[in-house]
A = this chain, B = another copy of it.
């Protein structure tokens, strides 16, 4: 059965929030003193009967952000609202835009920014405003797409970010994954590649996304891995990839042999970075996001509400 005070607090809330009456007026209607009305409203809020939602594509969930900062090793977090959003694409767009905003507001402005590539990063680049920085060196930190029709997307992302930031882009002239370790070592020691990798290792900040471990992975799409290979990785515990490297729920490399053939920054370098911004959103990426945050692979997480709750280990 429902308590009389509870019912009164609901009546009061209706008059207060829907009819914009003052607590005094409500008191007159319900035959209560205005203090009692104030207490009833406080009670209604405390009981969670009053839900205030900010519905806007750019709305953030500051409460969840704080919880992330407090309960994880993250130094900062940006959580976009999932209110009224049905698709993962929309969530990823919102997060990408939020990442662009975050990057713009980031102080000190990074002199060198190491970035990965992919759909999300591309959207971040699109979301940046021309002039977001005054001179920034953008460096690719992992091997690019070059095996399929989407050739050039990775390069375009880096160039766009650099141009809008009135700076220059340094591209990593290499595939993401090589077939033989020997080839990988050879490419890595080539001066053109080595220079870029060194530059990437010394970046003042990193910005990257992550991929889920399934047939829709960008690495499968780009032709670096087959669906069967990914299935095998999943069997070994892979939850997703970060800068081209597949990790398990603990944030460890799943397949050392494959990793040896992968070109790009090493995870330890990422873990040591003072500023590593991960942009990860959408229901398919809950597991990777959690792995990345809990194993300290990023210092800043830009994500959506539901993914954030998954990272915190709470039901959505």
Number of interface residues of A (CB under 8 A): 27
- Whether, in the assembled complex, A52 has its beta carbon less than 8 Å from a beta carbon of chain B, the answer is yes
Question: A2 contacts which of B15, B19, B58 (Cβ < 8 Å)?
Answer: B58
Given A52-B50, A54-B17: A10 and B62 interface contact (C-beta under 8 Å): no
- Interface of A (DSSP majority class): mixed
Compute how far the CA of A44 lies from the CA of B53 in the bound complex, rounded to whole angstroms.
12
Minimum C-beta distance from A42 to chain B (A): 12
Question: A62 contacts which of B14, B48, B52 (Cβ < 8 Å)?
Answer: B14
- Whether, in the assembled complex, A51 has its beta carbon less than 8 Å from a beta carbon of chain B, the answer is yes
- Whether, in the assembled complex, A61 has its beta carbon less than 8 Å from a beta carbon of chain B, the answer is yes
Which residues of chain A in 24-72 are interfacial with respect to chain B, using CB atoms and an 8 Å cutoff?
Answer: 44, 48-63
When the two chains form their complex, are residues B54 and A53 in contact, meaning their CB atoms are under 8 A apart? no
- Whether, in the assembled complex, A314 has its beta carbon less than 8 Å from a beta carbon of chain B, the answer is no
- Whether, in the assembled complex, A7 has its beta carbon less than 8 Å from a beta carbon of chain B, the answer is yes
When the two chains form their complex, are residues B51 and A55 in contact, meaning their CB atoms are under 8 A apart? yes
When the two chains form their complex, are residues B10 and A61 in contact, meaning their CB atoms are under 8 A apart? no
When the two chains form their complex, are residues A10 and B59 in contact, meaning their CB atoms are under 8 A apart? yes
Compute how far the CA of A14 lies from the CA of B15 in the bound complex, rounded to whole angstroms.
24
When the two chains form their complex, are residues B2 and A62 in contact, meaning their CB atoms are under 8 A apart? no
